[in-house]
A and B are shown apart, each in its own frame.
Chain A
Amino acid sequence: MKLAAILVHLNPVAIPGALLILIGLWGILARQNLFKIAVAFSILGTGVNLVILSVGYIRGRTAPILDGEAAVASMTDPVPQALVLTAIVIGLAVTALLLSYAVRLRSGGGGSSIEVHGDEKW
């Protein structure tokens, strides 16, 4: 009963987001392949973006675009949407760079496993 109340109260956008975050982190922390790590980052980023969006989510409301029909009162919170745009782009930038570094590391020899690229230590 109580569980049900909690579940109902939970944000339907945030939960998958959080899950994606955890999955992404799992990929980052447990996968060896550089490219898979980059992909895991994308997953993490997606999860975070979902969490951001979830904050702006209001049940039953529409996109915040004033096209005459939709009243201001029925719009969702536009701020997270604006923010997520930035987050997405930044995520993209990071992914691009990660991939570039992965390519460079692999092309320099040593393969795609992150374990072999650990000469600097201690």
Chain B
Amino acid sequence: MITAILTRVGYALVSLFVITNYGLLLIGSMARISAKVQGRVGQPVWQPYLDIIKSTAKRNSISHGVMFYLGPVFRLAGGVGTYLFIPAVFGSALFRNFSDSGDLLLVMYFIFFGQLGMALGASEGGHPYSAIGVSRGLAQMTAFEVPFALSVIAVAIQYKTLDITAIVAAQQGGFLHWTVATNPVAVVAALIAFLGMSMHNPFSVVIAPQEIPIGPPTEYQSNLLGMLQTNRAIFNGAKLVLYMNLFFGGATSLPVMVIKTFLIYFINVFVGQAFPRLRVDQSIRFFLGAPTVIGVAGVIIALL
């Protein structure tokens, strides 16, 4: 019993370690790719590591209160938890994580755990821009969740389950079994939602760095910031893994996972480089418009 538990915890830690490093490198390489797009050399791929170390190495920090402290903890726990509730690699005991805690719905809702905690922590900072950022973020979130939910429903209809492992299992057997092949419309909706979810351009008004200096984390610094940066890597990874599982046939091994998630993320960066930023009300209207229609179409296709 104890061994079983320890094994699982150990596996989870390993899995976590892998996704953290992968996530950091992914961010670094994407920054580099962006730089190439802009005709620059760009920062080193390992720059995210340096930034985190730098933040962690700050000699002092300030705190606005308990919730301010706990904000990054919530955020990181949210990211880590989200990841841990998703089976990262199909059929792998090592990367199975704690996916037996719940199905897709749990993952979808656990995403909010970190966001909520972070929003609260940022708010305690007392900075108006934090609150403005949160208000924008939440407002935008309600909108992009709609196409996402629709595509998830389409998936649920198609595979008659909400169990992620089962969804991945159903997609095994080649490209033509992937959701992206069987129901591309739903996947389009989900990918548009993903743009909003990762707050890249054109949906980056939440953290608009100059207008409301970086939004919610305005007051965060030192190790608190470091945790947020770490979370960004893990959380990104978790979301990518989720998308991969739902729409791109999952992964049977780590390299497959790396390739697939890299490509999914690449779409994201690609769009981000090509489009300017939208105002928050514009992006809400956008998500409730075409993407929602696409999502509904996806559901209908799944029903056919």
- Indicate whether A and B are direct neighbours in the complex (CB within 8 Å): no
Name A's B-contacting residues (CB within 8 A).
Answer: none
